[in-house]
Structure 1
Amino acid sequence: MAAAMGSGNVTAGRIEDPEKVGSAPDATEEESGLPSPPAALELQRWNESTVNVFRFLSSNYSFILMGMTDGALGALLPYIESYYSITYTVVSLVFLSPFVGYLLAALLNNLIHHYLGQRGVAVLGPLCRLVGMIPLISHPPYPAIPVVLLFIGFGNGIEDSAWNAWVGNMQRANELLGFLHGAYGLGATIGPLIATAMVTRGGLPWYAFYYLMIGLDGLALFLLVPSFWRADASAHRAMHQASSGGQRTTTRTVLRSPVTWLVALFLLGYVGVEVSLGGWIVTFMLRVRHADPFVAGLTVTFFWLGLTVGRVVLGFVTGRIGEKLAITAYLLLSVALQLLYWLVPNFAASATFVAFLGFFLGPLFPAAIVAATKLLPSDYHVSAIGFAAAFGGGGAALFPFAVGAIAQSKGVEVLQPIVLAILLFILLMWWMLPGGLRMGGLEKARENNEKVGDSVRKSISWLKGKMGAKTG
């Protein structure tokens, strides 16, 4: 998810289109990696111009395609496995390979924006996906599959972070990111449904699905390029130099901030949970819950549908009660639902728990992007959000691969404890962010120059005080 922050520069106290120049720098507190309080800025609105509307709708369409690509892969996994007669571990390489693409996107995102701007992302994203998908329709020998999927991962990675950073710096970012990631969830809902229907009801081979995706990605190229044509490299450099005193903020500088790494690790775990569930639910339902193949395919559809609805609906709730408190509550509910999904051996109950699990997982990614924009200086946003989002996107490969590798010897039941462990890990990462659980905590963290981990340390001290009072 590479960051194209070309959405905004500051001109006369207002953030304008990326083609216009002028931005106020933010100072950063050296030890904590947090910025000092910036001057109040009026963020741009998604519908303030025809260009913005066109860009926002094109970005949403791009996220629908990303969702269809990621979601369908899990639904097709059992059929790829049987087509090539390979093991869980070997077939899991289809998840690991895109991780390399996402990692490259994370490292190259800043350079792509510096030399090509958002226009470059609009061209490279769809083209890389097409380069990856066109060979799939010829169903090449299996060793070629992970190689071509690397291109899909890179294309998704640079677009993912680009449009996240752009939308994340607008007014009402929680709601808008809810729609953006809801579009991903929509794609991930219909992708498995279409792929499953094509294979189980239409009698088509697994690779037939990619004929459809090639056509849809071709359309994305014709939508995104005109939308971001004016957001070229010179526009990006002009904005960046204005906000950083004429010097380019490098990825190395941004990576010195602990906030960047916390958000990146949070997203790595979150995306790992999302895609591990989406990728292995069908196999789990077939092999463990003994469901009918078509009904098993519907179960993953319920998960992605819950994710989509949660992102849109809870996006209007999260910002009103505060990101730190809201995401903490969503994660605790997700842990409870994951336990129920694991421990209740009933197909109908499992399908219900999976749908609600998706609902409460939905807002996590948008909230993390909003947290990064509130905790980091504006000139860090392109590189930091881009790195965190693309690095987090690697979770879509790393953890599903781990599930498959372990499942080869232990059975696909390992999905459940692995997902539970990751949920607890990202809950800890979220608590480590500055700001506490109070409303407006992220903004006050900037004002107070709070350090990473302050909230956890204060909570431990409070508990020790209570325990000491009881024993005394």
Structure 2
Amino acid sequence: MTLLLLVIIYLAFISLGLPDSLLGAAWPVMHLDIGVPLETGGVLSMTAAVGTVVSSLASGKVIKRFGTGKVTVVSCLMTAMALLGFYFAPSILWMVLFTIPLGLGAGAVDTALNNYVALHYKAHHMSWLHSFWGVGATLGPIIMALFIAGKNGWRGGYLTIAVIQMILVVILLLSLPLWRRVSKEQHAESVDTEALVSSTTDNDLSQVKPLQIKGVKFAMLTFLFYCGVETSVGLWGSSFLVNVKELPAAVAAQWVSFYWGGLTVGRFLTGFITFKMSNRNLIRSGQIIAFVGGALLLLPLPSIVSLVGFVMIGLGLAPIFPCMLHETPARFGKTHSQTIMGYQMATAYTGSTLMPPLLGFIASYTTIAIFPFFIAIYIGIMLLSTERLNSITK
């Protein structure tokens, strides 16, 4: 039963990754079709991000009241209906409207499933869970590209992803009794001793507000800068390679895809490495590898070294996010883990939303050559935050 539920959670994370990369893949065609400027895509992205942050912050109370299974079903239904809305949307105003439930649904299901896996499964499952998100994020543009090249256009791509999401909603709805049964078994057996802290610690923290627990703010700061690095590299990497390293645009895009590939493959490999290394050592090692990768982009070396740098950043970032999430109950107790998980996801999405535009804004007044400096600084702050967190929660 536990294994069957885990498969369902993996499927849910593939579906969570599918819509995340759709807008970027379709927008060059979409904005022409609906007659809006290219930069309007930022409005949709920001709207989705705000919805995601709001639902992440509220997830603790919502999940405590309704349960992980029901929240996951409703969230996926919201996402499916929002994608269907994009298929029918006649104007940009309707798209902005449908982006609100898209963000709310994504934030709620992301937070719910991350905390559930952190509490009830071992560290390697968390890493594999996020590699399945990478599978979805990779498949989304591929599906969209097939429809853009055909007669159905981008609307056909959104319709297809919406149908896939609806199928998942049906599967999740049928699995609700399974969630309840597995939760009872897991609670009775306490199978994951790595994730659950002692009841004494939880009792000590039960009367403390989550934000007052020592180390929580440093954990949130780590997530802020982690997502700042991840999305900044994905957004501005090609521009850096084209304008500074003077690579053709097609080659630059391919090199950045190796970065995403390193991130996805790295998380899959991390699942096996967790059998030999602790979460904390994996996080530290990943940050050091990513920092070295960022340093390679700074050096005046042949262009091929930049490819190595991008791959190293991807591989280095791979274990950080899932291992940080899995450490949440162990560091702060399971009593407040759901609420703290929501805070962490909210700051993560805030980093994804604000830090790449900040880099772009400064680059527009200076040069995109500042890109590797910002990446190195972001990684450095992230490393200092986690080391401080480790010393507090040791």
**Which TM class, normalised by the smaller chain length?**
0.7 to 0.9
Question: Contact conserved, 2:289 with 2:315, CA < 8 A, in 1?
Answer: no
Question: Contact conserved, 1:126 with 1:221, CA < 8 A, in 2?
Answer: yes
Q: Provide closer, same or farther for how the CA distance between residues 108 and 323 of structure 1 changes in structure 2, counting only shifts above 3 A.
A: same
1:271 alignment partner, one of 215, 227, 230: 227
Q: Offset of 1:271 from its aligned partner?
A: 2.1
What amino acid maps onto 2:168 in structure 1? A
Write the distance in 1 (CA, Å) between the matches of 2:236 and 2:60: 33
Question: Contact conserved, 1:259 with 1:372, CA < 8 A, in 2?
Answer: no
Q: Which has the larger radius of gyration?
A: 1
Q: Residue 141 of structure 1 aligns with which residue?
A: 91
Question: Contact conserved, 1:99 with 1:398, CA < 8 A, in 2?
Answer: no
Write the distance in 1 (CA, Å) between the matches of 2:372 and 2:55: 30
Does residue 119 of structure 2 align to residue 169 of structure 1?
Answer: yes
Question: Contact conserved, 1:197 with 1:294, CA < 8 A, in 2?
Answer: no
Q: Residue 160 of structure 2 aligns with which residue?
A: 212
2:341 alignment partner, one of 369, 385, 392: 385
What amino acid maps onto 2:389 in structure 1? L
Q: Residue 123 of structure 1 aligns with which residue?
A: 73
How many aligned residue pairs are there? 377
Question: Contact conserved, 1:80 with 1:91, CA < 8 A, in 2?
Answer: no
Q: Provide closer, same or farther for how the CA distance between residues 347 and 434 of structure 1 changes in structure 2, counting only shifts above 3 A.
A: closer
Question: Contact conserved, 1:338 with 1:357, CA < 8 A, in 2?
Answer: yes
**Equivalent position SS for 2:137:** helix
2:140 alignment partner, one of 178, 191, 206: 191
Q: Provide closer, same or farther for how the CA distance between residues 379 and 314 of structure 1 changes in structure 2, counting only shifts above 3 A.
A: same
2:44 alignment partner, one of 94, 105, 124: 94
Q: Residue 355 of structure 2 aligns with which residue?
A: 399
Write the distance in 2 (CA, Å) between the matches of 1:192 and 1:251: 46
Write the distance in 1 (CA, Å) between the matches of 2:98 and 2:362: 24
Write the distance in 1 (CA, Å) between the matches of 2:371 and 2:31: 18
Paired-residue identity, %: 22
Write the distance in 1 (CA, Å) between the matches of 2:350 and 2:209: 22
Q: Offset of 1:304 from its aligned partner?
A: 2.1
What amino acid maps onto 1:131 in structure 2? M
Q: Provide closer, same or farther for how the CA distance between residues 384 and 355 of structure 1 changes in structure 2, counting only shifts above 3 A.
A: same
TM-score (norm 1): 0.69
Q: Offset of 1:366 from its aligned partner?
A: 1.3
Gaps of 5+ in 1: 1-49, 437-441, 446-472
Question: Contact conserved, 1:71 with 1:192, CA < 8 A, in 2?
Answer: yes
What amino acid maps onto 2:14 in structure 1? I
Write the distance in 2 (CA, Å) between the matches of 1:328 and 1:366: 13
Does residue 281 of structure 2 align to residue 331 of structure 1?
Answer: no
Q: Deviations over 1:262-289 (max 9, x none)?
A: 2222122212322233344455556666
Q: Provide closer, same or farther for how the CA distance between residues 293 and 130 of structure 1 changes in structure 2, counting only shifts above 3 A.
A: farther
**Equivalent position SS for 1:268:** helix
Q: Offset of 1:422 from its aligned partner?
A: 1.9
Q: Provide closer, same or farther for how the CA distance between residues 62 and 85 of structure 1 changes in structure 2, counting only shifts above 3 A.
A: same
Q: Residue 182 of structure 1 aligns with which residue?
A: 131
**Equivalent position SS for 1:320:** coil
Q: Deviations over 1:167-197 (max 9, x none)?
A: 11235x2211111011012222333344445
Considering only aligned residues, what root-mean-square deviation do their CA atoms show, in Å?
3.6
Write the distance in 2 (CA, Å) between the matches of 1:291 and 1:204: 33
Question: Contact conserved, 2:264 with 2:318, CA < 8 A, in 1?
Answer: yes
Q: Deviations over 1:46-84 (max 9, x none)?
A: xxxx2x222211211121122232234444455556665
What amino acid maps onto 1:136 in structure 2? F
Q: How does 1:3-152 map to 2 (within 5 A)?
A: 50=1, 52-76=2-26, 78-79=28-29, 84=35, 86=37, 88=39, 90-138=40-88, 140-152=90-102
Question: Contact conserved, 1:69 with 1:188, CA < 8 A, in 2?
Answer: yes
Q: Offset of 1:218 from its aligned partner?
A: 0.9
**Equivalent position SS for 1:169:** helix
Write the distance in 2 (CA, Å) between the matches of 1:206 and 1:397: 24
Question: Contact conserved, 1:59 with 1:163, CA < 8 A, in 2?
Answer: yes
**Equivalent position SS for 1:340:** helix
Gaps of 5+ in 2: 188-198
TM-score (norm 2): 0.81
Q: Provide closer, same or farther for how the CA distance between residues 98 and 203 of structure 1 changes in structure 2, counting only shifts above 3 A.
A: same
What amino acid maps onto 1:371 in structure 2? E
Q: Residue 9 of structure 1 aligns with which residue?
A: none
Q: Residue 322 of structure 2 aligns with which residue?
A: 366
Q: Residue 223 of structure 1 aligns with which residue?
A: 171
Q: Which stretch of the first structure deviates more once superposed, 424-433 or 63-72?
A: 63-72
Of Structure 1 and Structure 2, the greater helix share is in 2
Q: How does 1:280-429 map to 2 (within 5 A)?
A: 280-281=236-237, 296-318=252-274, 320-341=276-297, 349-406=305-362, 409-410=365-366, 415-429=371-385
Write the distance in 2 (CA, Å) between the matches of 1:308 and 1:398: 23
Q: Deviations over 1:85-119 (max 9, x none)?
A: 5355x433333222211221222112211321113
Question: Contact conserved, 1:282 with 1:296, CA < 8 A, in 2?
Answer: yes
**Equivalent position SS for 1:379:** coil
Q: Offset of 1:227 from its aligned partner?
A: 2.3
Does residue 389 of structure 2 align to residue 433 of structure 1?
Answer: yes
What amino acid maps onto 1:313 in structure 2? L
Q: Which stretch of the first structure deviates more once superposed, 116-125 or 346-355?
A: 346-355
What amino acid maps onto 1:187 in structure 2? G
Q: Offset of 1:362 from its aligned partner?
A: 0.8
1:262 alignment partner, one of 211, 218, 227: 218
Question: Contact conserved, 2:115 with 2:338, CA < 8 A, in 1?
Answer: yes
Question: Contact conserved, 1:303 with 1:354, CA < 8 A, in 2?
Answer: yes
Q: Offset of 1:389 from its aligned partner?
A: 2.6
**Equivalent position SS for 2:76:** helix
Write the distance in 2 (CA, Å) between the matches of 1:140 and 1:406: 35
